[in-house]
Amino acid sequence: MSYRIPLIRPYISKRVKTMINEVLDSGYLTEGPVTRQFESAVAGYTGAGHAVAFTSCTTGLETALRVLGVGPGDEVIVPDFTYPATAGAVQIVGATPVIVDVDPDTMLMTPELAEEAISASTKVIIPVSLFGLPFDHDGFTELKKKYEVWILEDAACALGSVYKGKRTGTLADISVFSFHPRKFITTGEGGMVTTDNGKWAEAMNRYKHFGMGKPGDRGELVFLTPGTNYKMSNVQAAIGLAQMEDIDNLLAERMNLAEKYTRLLEPVKSIQCPVEPEYISHSWQSYTVFVKGRDDIMRKMRNQGIEVQIGTYALHMHPAFQDGNAKLRGQFHGSIRAFEEALVLPMYHGMTSQEQTEVVEKLSECVE
């Protein structure tokens, strides 16, 4: 269905089209020099020592888990309120997701909730910087030290966000970003892993290239380990590389749109706006409000040509994470609230003041 006011519009500038055409004209379409440039751009922007491009955030998470040595018999703690890929990557490597609740206001897994689920089998914790809001890095770093576990950040939505002066991508042991079209930097599909650990980066790069190592004495390829094909093409990378040139402007625009939403929605007492602690800079992949009767409101908004969406999913409700496929820890009051009440509003480059005002007016009418 086509909406008058869509949830998101990809940023496709003249520069993007020019760079795509340059790749097409070069004849070098698979992963290559443009992908390397895109990796360098993301590493330089985040401040990370290394960046490795992938086909998606999901395959990036999977590969990161493999490099951390996670497999059968290991447990990995994940939040209940997240896209299924977070826990699915754990299952793919043969480990067990341990699913815990989230804070009812931030919708993030807290260190306290994660700590309650730690066992002798816990090897990794995967907090999610949901919708562009960084999690409590200080608290999770303390858990890392106390229990000797790794922190793998699902930063799918969080490129451009900042925690206490440091950009997301440098705070966890490994962070993984998404470039899905819902993200304001998008390559159609794609992901990027950042880390300061050079050995991990080398291992991840090798795994996504079929386990390929450096050429032997005769120049022939040498395959050192099992691997697969998780390469990002030059075509995709050209889109992301061109968008990275404008990331500061794109991010500033999203911040302005978020501020205006909060200002316009303040008089509507039945709507709870997003939380943003003062020491955090949100990247606003999604502007997500809480509203009761969400499903009915979503239907009414869509019928008026305004695309709105649920936040994401409560994993414990789905068969993929039931009946022994995962371990469920505690109650899920925060996650259930988020699943039932979270509503994502439209936000995109070039969104006009008139469009944003209309979204708020129609939403206000729906909740009256």
Q: For the CA atoms of the chain, what is the radius of gyration? A: 21
Q: Is the dihedral of CA 113, 117, 121, 126 positive or negative?
A: negative
Out of 145, 146, 166, 183, the active site residue is 183
CA contacts within 13 A on the Cβ side of 344: 20
Identify any residues that bridge with 78 across adjacent strands, giving them in sequence order: 99
**3-state SS, residue 54:** strand
Any catalytic annotation for residue 183?
yes
Question: At what angle are helices 57-67 and 85-92 packed, to 10 degrees?
Answer: 40
CB 127 within 8 A of CB 153: yes
Task: Copy the structure tokens of residue 124.
Answer: 């990794």
Q: What b/e readout covers 92-128, taking b as 16+ CB neighbours within 10 angstroms?
A: ebebbbbbbbbbeebbbbbbebbbebbeeebbbbbbb
**3-state SS, residue 151:** strand
**3-state SS, residue 57:** helix
Q: Is the dihedral of CA 227, 208, 85, 154 positive or negative?
A: positive
Length of the chain (residues)? 368
Q: Which residues are catalytic?
A: 183
